Structure 1
Amino acid sequence: MSTGSGAHSAPAPTADDDTAHTTTGKTTMFSSLKIRNYRLFATGQVVSNTGTWMQRIAQDWLVLTLTGSASAVGITIALQFLPMLLFGLYGGVLADRLPKRQLLLATQIAMGLTGLALAVLTLTGHVQVWHVYLTAFVLGLVTVVDNPARQSFVAEMVGPDQLGNAVSLNSANFQSARLVGPAVAGVLITAVGSGFAFLLNGLSFIAPIAGLLLMRNSELYKIERAPRGKGQLREGLKYVAGRPELIWPIVLVGFIGTFGFNFPIWLSAFVDDVYHSGASTYGLLNTLMAAGSLAGALLAARRGTSRLRVLVGAAVLFGLLEIVTAFAPQFWIFAVLMVPIGVFGLTVNVTANSILQMATEPAMRGRVMSLFMMVFVGGTPLGAPLVGWITDTYGPRIGFAAGGAVALAAAIGVGVMLVRVGGLRLKIDLRPGRRHVEFVPREQLATAA
């Protein structure tokens, strides 16, 4: 692999959503895995991600068992993501300034220790709900630095030609673990309790730590780090605000992340209140959604392009599916619909992530990605308690449908703004062999007329 000059960002997409990110090298579905450093990274991540999903399921179920309240699950989620909302941009500044490999070693060690601490409390029978709240908050603090560092480190491992593919494979990696983690967690919780799920999660971080230590520095792409200076937060915000291809995807994922991705609240409430089942059913629903998410990630890796119209279209379908699923009359229909929800939810995430990374200059990537993660997961502390209250007060169906309605409205609103910014007009052509409905520039429509 070349170890030449730093990566350069691809041309930014225009607001008309027709500019695709392409790579100059040959891209196949798994082409990034040919790179040794990325292969080590991906292997470590799939192990720790499996443990992370086990802990997420066990944590949600433990809180529900201790309190019997969907709102308490919402508070736990809120505390885990509150640090991202408060300090997310500072994490991006650190990721742009400091060596990312060393930064990730520190964050992975810290995450492993939080899992082990919760395991000790649970296995000794001393766990209380405030312990879960505290460990969730500490984990959130670590994530503030880990997320932008991990996402922007991908460019240093694979270079510009394979960046889009690697971003998609990261999501496929995460979703593969999501297929295994919830199922294993469901079995463990039923058989021996939540403590062993926390223990295995803590131990799982040995894998990414080993992968980072085995990497070859000489094979990393050199990315110029941002120097220490004043006003770097303001610089990052100004950079994003001046680019429609960055700001509108961030706005969209902010709404969807805040109101449309509260699945721990909804699914635990549906399992407990609507279907009167247990942890194994909760794990099954998460596994079905993960199967759809994995399919969405692999399709994104195969496409190798990221278009704004794909982002908006996937967001519209995601919101619609949530509304329809909320009122599914039977369990099997509800369960089956988890798969397409996973497909389109993951497509939104991966497409937005790829658009932002490919359109951002390397020295700004940490700050841009921290803003992306801040609005995507950092909005959860605002949305989760509200969604939990709606779910407790009006029932799981209304809570789920309300989240889908907000996601749908946001997708339509952002789509309209992108059309206006791009100077587009709707063109309808009913002649055979033509594209019947499409958006075209005003000038093209005027010429055709």
Structure 2
Amino acid sequence: MPSFPPTSPTLSPASFSNPSKDAETPARDAPAPSDIPAWLPPALHVFAFRDYRRQWVGAFASSIGSWMQQVAQAWLILELTASPFYLGLDAFLGMAPMLGLSLAGGAVADRIDRRKLLLASQAVQLSSALTLAILVGTRALQGMLLVYAILGLSFLTGMAQAMSGPAYMALLPNLAPKPFVGQAIAGNAMQFNLARVVGPMLAGLVMARFGATACFALNALSFLAVMAALATIHPPPQVSAETAQSWTQEVLVGMRYVFGDPLRRRLCILAALTTGLGIAVPTLLPQYAKAVWRGDEVLFSRLAACSGLGAVAGALVVAAVAKKAPSLPLVFGAQAALGLCMALLAVTGWLWLACLWLFAGGALLVAAYALVTTCFQQSVADDMRGRSVSLYMVCFRGGMAVGGLLAGTAAQWWSVPATFGLTGLALVAVGAWAALDGRPMTPPALGQTAD
């Protein structure tokens, strides 16, 4: 299943690797202007580089397959259990490994070949999807036994993603010259959000005609695309991490740096609250389509595509706004507006209006995620960036994991609309609290080093 949102922040001013190591890493030479086709728009110049282009295509194909499985898997769990709690539990198990393994994955990514680590991760995820396709297609397991198998495979997939996520984030900036790293990161976020539109729409069509098994099998095949890309790219030689401190000591220094500073600590709290409350809609959307609109898997896939279209729009808007440093009031406004959309989604009685709120909510969800992440990046000194971002992602993804489980539990006890309303109002309150708090939240200048 795909990460939600993409694990690499969309607007990073620097790569995730330790900048002190970056100086030692062989960098690609920037091409002469004549090396870039004249017909290629400036915003897409990064696609002139073969390695990045291959990896983008492979990742896009894999993301489409992952979104197809996410839609089919959520609908299958709902049909087997008729319980939103299991939707939340599935989301929790898919994201929980990030809490314990992301820091370890970052350390591993600095010490072994990142391509080999990524290939191993893709092989595990391919095996998981193929196993699920076989279990469902052959009816080897049924009822709650199948549900438990799905939950176990979600946890296995989450472990593979947690271990390989830092390696992918560290590899991506090495697929293009340094002047194009910003475009490379933005392009990665764009392929993920485009897949959020294409994947659910294809899933609805495939499920209606061939069933969920076909979605799982197609996802398994999609991993071959990214594995082929990884096998044929040639990034610069990787420089292994060399440090006088142990990994544990480095993590402790990073924790003191992040959580000992009021600004960075508050941004981590805001990230956890935003993801924890905002994840309610993506997690409970299958139950919303079925219980509120009496819809089937086709309607669910269309509602998911509406949210995906909004996410693409939100990513484009934030990319334009980010040409100027994103101000903190934009973060607070995006959080409050997202909460309002969730509350309105809970009370609307027209399907077309629900689609509109899902579109707006998808845009605001991505905007809030990206703006909080970018503000955090701007508050971090260059020589602490790698450790700081790893800790931030624990808060970011940890909020998702816990929020998904709590949303499923709340919907089980009350209802999906009530859960949307409560989490939406809570998100409005979070935005108001952050905006009205009198303590200064001014990020330091980029490039500042740690004391």
Length-normalised TM-score, structure 1: 0.81
- Equivalent position amino acid for 1:320 in 2: L
Distance 1:302 1:276, change over 3 A: same
Match of 1:79 among 93, 98, 101: 93
- Equivalent position amino acid for 1:258 in 2: G
In the TM superposition, what is the alpha-carbon distance from 1:68 to its structure 2 partner?
A: 0.9
- Equivalent position amino acid for 1:117 in 2: T
How far apart are the structure 2 equivalents of 1:342 and 1:289? Answer: 5
* Contact 2:19/2:385, CA 8 A, preserved across alignment: no
Partner of 1:421: 440
How far apart are the structure 1 equivalents of 2:250 and 2:347? Answer: 47
Distance 1:389 1:379, change over 3 A: same
1:389 aligns with 2:409: yes
- Equivalent position amino acid for 1:82 in 2: A
Kindly report which structure 2 residues correspond to 1:234-383, keeping only aligned pairs within 5 A, or say none. Answer: 234-243=252-261, 246-305=264-323, 306-309=325-328, 310-356=330-376, 360=380, 364-383=384-403
In the TM superposition, what is the alpha-carbon distance from 1:139 to its structure 2 partner?
A: 0.8
* Contact 1:266/1:399, CA 8 A, preserved across alignment: no
Distance 1:44 1:361, change over 3 A: farther
* Contact 2:279/2:404, CA 8 A, preserved across alignment: no
In the TM superposition, what is the alpha-carbon distance from 1:66 to its structure 2 partner?
A: 0.8
- Equivalent position amino acid for 2:402 in 1: L
- Cα-to-partner distance string for 1:166-221 (whole Å, 9 max, x where unaligned): 33322211011111111111122222211110111111011111112222233x7x
How far apart are the structure 1 equivalents of 2:107 and 2:84? Answer: 35
- Out of 321-330 and 130-139, give the one that drifted further: 321-330
Partner of 1:431: none
Matched residue of 2:439: which SS? Answer: helix
Matched residue of 2:254: which SS? Answer: helix
In the TM superposition, what is the alpha-carbon distance from 1:356 to its structure 2 partner?
A: 4.5
Distance 1:169 1:354, change over 3 A: farther
* Contact 2:307/2:362, CA 8 A, preserved across alignment: yes
Distance 1:394 1:243, change over 3 A: same
Distance 1:188 1:241, change over 3 A: same
Distance 1:321 1:195, change over 3 A: same
Partner of 1:192: 210
Match of 1:64 among 78, 83, 87: 78
In the TM superposition, what is the alpha-carbon distance from 1:357 to its structure 2 partner?
A: 5.0
CA RMSD in angstroms comes to: 2.8
* Contact 2:279/2:403, CA 8 A, preserved across alignment: no
- Equivalent position amino acid for 2:117 in 1: L
- Equivalent position amino acid for 2:268 in 1: I
Kindly report which structure 2 residues correspond to 1:159-178, keeping only aligned pairs within 5 A, or say none. Answer: 160-178=178-196
How far apart are the structure 2 equivalents of 1:91 and 1:152? Answer: 11
1:118 aligns with 2:118: no
In the TM superposition, what is the alpha-carbon distance from 1:163 to its structure 2 partner?
A: 3.6
Partner of 2:200: 182
- Equivalent position amino acid for 1:351 in 2: L
In the TM superposition, what is the alpha-carbon distance from 1:226 to its structure 2 partner?
A: 5.5
In the TM superposition, what is the alpha-carbon distance from 1:413 to its structure 2 partner?
A: 2.9
- Equivalent position amino acid for 2:319 in 1: A
- Equivalent position amino acid for 1:139 in 2: T
Matched residue of 1:329: which SS? Answer: coil
In the TM superposition, what is the alpha-carbon distance from 1:353 to its structure 2 partner?
A: 3.8
* Contact 2:173/2:185, CA 8 A, preserved across alignment: no
Matched residue of 1:420: which SS? Answer: coil
- Equivalent position amino acid for 1:212 in 2: L
- Cα-to-partner distance string for 1:378-399 (whole Å, 9 max, x where unaligned): 2333222321122122221110
Distance 1:37 1:366, change over 3 A: farther
How far apart are the structure 1 equivalents of 2:111 and 2:372? Answer: 24
1:53 aligns with 2:73: no
Partner of 1:22: none
- Out of 255-264 and 192-201, give the one that drifted further: 255-264
In the TM superposition, what is the alpha-carbon distance from 1:224 to its structure 2 partner?
A: 6.9
Partner of 1:225: 241
- Equivalent position amino acid for 2:409 in 1: W
- Cα-to-partner distance string for 1:249-308 (whole Å, 9 max, x where unaligned): 332221121121123443112211111110001000110110111112223334453524
* Contact 1:169/1:301, CA 8 A, preserved across alignment: no
* Contact 1:256/1:406, CA 8 A, preserved across alignment: no
Length-normalised TM-score, structure 2: 0.81
Matched residue of 1:30: which SS? Answer: helix
- Out of 82-91 and 128-137, give the one that drifted further: 82-91
How far apart are the structure 2 equivalents of 1:315 and 1:400? Answer: 14
1:101 aligns with 2:104: no
How far apart are the structure 2 equivalents of 1:205 and 1:186? Answer: 20
1:142 aligns with 2:160: yes
- Out of 370-379 and 136-145, give the one that drifted further: 370-379
In the TM superposition, what is the alpha-carbon distance from 1:101 to its structure 2 partner?
A: 2.8
- Cα-to-partner distance string for 1:405-444 (whole Å, 9 max, x where unaligned): 2322223333445x622479xxxxxxxxxxxxxxxxxxxx
Distance 1:414 1:157, change over 3 A: farther
How far apart are the structure 1 equivalents of 2:279 and 2:247? Answer: 36
* Contact 1:49/1:177, CA 8 A, preserved across alignment: yes
How far apart are the structure 2 equivalents of 1:84 and 1:37? Answer: 28
How far apart are the structure 1 equivalents of 2:121 and 2:384? Answer: 21
Matched residue of 2:43: which SS? Answer: coil
In the TM superposition, what is the alpha-carbon distance from 1:245 to its structure 2 partner?
A: 5.5
1:34 aligns with 2:48: yes
Distance 1:43 1:243, change over 3 A: farther
In the TM superposition, what is the alpha-carbon distance from 1:315 to its structure 2 partner?
A: 2.0
Q: Provide structure 2 residue ranges, at least 5 long, that are not aligned to the other structure.
A: 1-16, 21-31, 34-40, 444-451
Partner of 1:15: none
In the TM superposition, what is the alpha-carbon distance from 1:8 to its structure 2 partner?
A: 4.9
Distance 1:196 1:176, change over 3 A: same
